[in-house]
Amino acid sequence: MTLEIKHTFDEKNFRHYLNGFNMVLHCHHYMSLTTKLAIDFDDIGGTRILSESAEDSVRPLLEDYIRNHKISGDERLRIGAEFYSLMGMGKMEISGNAGAGNVKLQKSHVDSGWLKKWGNHDNPVNYFTRGYIAAVFGASFDKPARSYRVTENEAIVAGANTSSFTVEMVQV
């Protein structure tokens, strides 16, 4: 399935919208440094805030698409994977149900960016994608925010061929 995307440009303020959502281009330097900042400030919740910001900002866009195109069932997870690629964040394989799931990244903007900038890292750094996956599952199964715990078990940045995540539903 190919996403139906309408790109609009606001001629007054010069902003770009995809399906009515204000989007902006940035680069891997910005994402890598933002991730590093979150790690450096983890004592105040940096990495959690990064994941939650991703979850909360992506979810309305996914829900809007699901609602407007009457997407149901497994198709919803696939829509999430397609938006991930559209945003330049990588290539995602996603499966699961309302209770649990698995996600694999063949390619990852966050990991590739980090590798380009600093090389390998001992621990996974893809906090953005953890939040993104939580948003996809939340939107797909109509669960409130923070309903899913996403764990990154293997990471490209740590030398693995693919990044893999497990998803579990938690009580909110």
| Binding interface with other proteins (CB under 8 A) | 7, 9, 12-16, 18, 21-31, 33-34, 37-38, 40-41, 44-46, 49-50, 52-54, 56-58, 61, 84-92, 106-107, 109, 112-113, 116
91-105 as b/e, with b when 16 or more CB fall inside 10 Å?
A: ebebebeeeebebeb
Q: Which is nearer to other proteins, 11 or 171 (CB)?
A: 11
To the nearest whole angstrom, how small is the minimum distance from the Cβ of residue 106 to other proteins?
A: 7
Evaluated on CA atoms 116, 54, 8, 91, the torsion sign reads positive
Q: Which is nearer to other proteins, 23 or 98 (CB)?
A: 23
CA 99 to chain centre: 19
Q: Which is nearer to other proteins, 58 or 103 (CB)?
A: 58
The CA distance from 166 to 172, in Å, is: 18
Q: Which of 117, 125, 109, 116 is nearest to 158 (CA)?
A: 125
To the nearest whole angstrom, how small is the minimum distance from the Cβ of residue 62 to other proteins?
A: 11
Q: Phi and psi of 121, rounded to 5°?
A: -135, 145
Distances (CA, A) of 1 to 69, 71, 76, 80: 12, 11, 11, 12
Q: Which is nearer to other proteins, 6 or 70 (CB)?
A: 6
The CA distance from 96 to 24, in Å, is: 30
Q: Which is nearer to other proteins, 106 or 120 (CB)?
A: 106
To the nearest whole angstrom, how small is the minimum distance from the Cβ of residue 107 to other proteins?
A: 4
To the nearest whole angstrom, how small is the minimum distance from the Cβ of residue 124 to other proteins?
A: 18
To the nearest whole angstrom, how small is the minimum distance from the Cβ of residue 44 to other proteins?
A: 4
Strand-pair partners of 101: 96, 167
